[in-house]
Amino acid sequence: AKAKKAEEEAAAAKKAKEEAEAKAKVESEARKKAEEEAAAAKKAKEVAEAKAAAEATRKAEEVAKASAAAVNRCAKKAEESRGRSCCCKESKRSCRSCSCKESCC
C-alpha cells in the first residue's frame, strides 16, 4: 500500500512538473511575442518620425527656394529701376512695402 501511495505521489508530482513546464513555455512564448510586437511598434514609430522629418525638410526647402526667388525678383527689379522711378511705384506699392530696400526706395 505504501509503495502504491508513493507511486501515485510520484505520478502526481511528475504531472504537476509537466503542467508547470507547459505553463512556463506558454508564458515564454507570450512574452517573446509581446517583445516582437513592441519592437515592430518601435520600428513603425521610427519610420513615421523619419517620414515626418523628411516632409518637414522638403517643405522648409520649398519655402527657402520661394523666398530666394522672391529676393532675386526684387533685386532684379531694383537693378532695372536704377536711375528711373522707384520699383515700388512701378508695381503700384508704397515704398514702405517694397522688400528690395534699394536706394530707389
Q: Write out pLDDT tens, residues 65-96.
A: 998 888 888 777 767 666 555 555 555 555 55
Spatial contact of 88 and 105, defined as CB atoms under 8 Å apart: yes
Domain boundaries along the sequence of the chain = 1-63
Spatial contact of 87 and 81, defined as CB atoms under 8 Å apart: yes
Spatial contact of 104 and 87, defined as CB atoms under 8 Å apart: yes
pLDDT for 64: 94
What does the pLDDT average to over 11-20?
A: 96
